[in-house]
Structure 1
Amino acid sequence: MENLCPRFEKAMGLLSTRWVGLILFDLLEGTKRFSEMEADLPISGRLLSDRLKLLEKEGIVERNIYSEFPVRIEYSLSEKGRALEPVIKEIQGWADNHVTPEEVSGDVEK
């Protein structure tokens, strides 16, 4: 029980890192090239690269390099990353049911 809080805190810290959730959500669709992800997400290429490196270091995302010309690099969820699918889908379901369009647009005062 004593390890529960540090593990939970680590997981929440990782998942709450800005853009990580959207990157994982995007990769749930399957393997993608960097340029596809950059087109899908409202994030700069530099920040996307940083987040992908973080997720790769954590063993959540796998990067595959293909020796073609030009070199092709694809990203996919690892087994550890795919294990997050039910969590991400539950968060999506919660958001669909409990987050209003006004809250998304920032019109609701706190």
Structure 2
Amino acid sequence: MKRTPFAAMSCPIARGLDRVGEWWSILILRDALQGLTRFDEFERSLGIAPNMLARRLAGLVDGGLVEKRAYSERPRRYDYVLTERGRDFREVVQALLAWGNRHFAPEGPSMLIVDRTTGLAAEPILVDSVSGKSLADPIFETRPGPALGSRGLARQALIAAARVRHEAESRS
């Protein structure tokens, strides 16, 4: 089945998913963020078929999230090193970890984010860097930015209409 490309969409979520929206790619980034860099390390960690891993790594290289660096000439071997764009994905992985622990770990968390100094578990939240307020606060919402195209504006109109409908239904 052919995948729909999202790179041409104006939505930043769609564009981000176009680069990392496949689960193997996200798991490769998870492992890279923890220090894995070599093909065989990713293969052992994930239990992924070599051809699938090669495709996913190539996609991450093409997307600018990792770069290939030769570490051996004979045989030719590469490290896959996170770029700044790849390192910026850390907060997404941490948010997924916390969300998964909160909603899909009835037996309890299998992985935690901890403070290296104290060993205390951390609970990630997204905050506005200007006000320091949690982005989970209902005072925050998404709105169209200056680069949103006509399709995105139509989607926002649909969302606004649905919001009005929900508010009317909740009052009645």
- Do they superpose with TM above 0.5? yes
Shift of 1:101: 5.3
Give how far 1:78 is off: 0.6
Question: Is there any run of 5+ residues in structure 2 with no aligned partner, and where?
Answer: 1-8, 108-172
Provide the residue aligned with 2:43 in structure 1.
38
- Are 2:92 and 1:87 aligned? yes
The structure where strand makes up a greater share of residues is: 1
Aligned identity (percent) is 35
How far apart are the structure 2 equivalents of 1:58 and 1:81?
9
- Tell me the residue number matched to 1:10: 15
TM-score (norm 1): 0.78
The structure whose RCO (Cα within 8 Å, separation 6+) is larger is 1
The amino acid across from 1:15 in the alignment is: V
Once the 2 structures are TM-superposed, how far is the Cα of residue 33 of structure 1 from its aligned partner?
Answer: 1.1
- Structure 1, unmatched stretches of 5+, are 103-110
For each residue in 1:21-58, what CA deviation from the matched residue of structure 2 results, as whole angstroms up to 9, or x when unmatched? 11110101124211111111121000000000000001
Structure with greater proportional helix content: 1
Q: Show CA shifts across 1:49-102 (max 9, x none).
A: 000000000100111013443333111211110001011111111101111459
Most deviating of 4-13 and 41-50: 4-13
